[in-house]
Amino acid sequence: GNPDVIKHNLVQQIYHQVPWVATINNFAMAGIGRVLELGPGKVLCGFNKRINPDMQAQHVNDQDSLQAALV
């Protein structure tokens, strides 16, 4: 809730790398077998498939794809 902390964190998020490979590997070690990418693009699904081909990556960008993901 502190505006100064929020501002600092937003700046840090913009200027620093996202440890995506480590994140997906940690998901796999935790037993997570499926991830969802929400939004208009499919970039992260492609990254995820290259990082861990055994993990299912599913793209959700509209009501139909959301319904399919919930099955």
Pairwise CA distance, residues 55 & 44, whole Å: 12
For residue 2, give Cα distances in angstroms to 10, 45, 68: 12, 34, 39
Element (H, E) at 56: strand 56-60
Q: Which pLDDT band holds residue 2 (cuts at 50, 70, 90)?
A: very high
pTM of the model: 0.73
Contact in structure between 53 and 45 (CB atoms under 8 Å): no
pLDDT score recorded for residue 33? 96
Amino acid at 32: I
Res. 71: pLDDT tops 90: no
Res. 24: pLDDT tops 90: yes
Res. 65: pLDDT tops 90: yes
Amino acid at 4: D
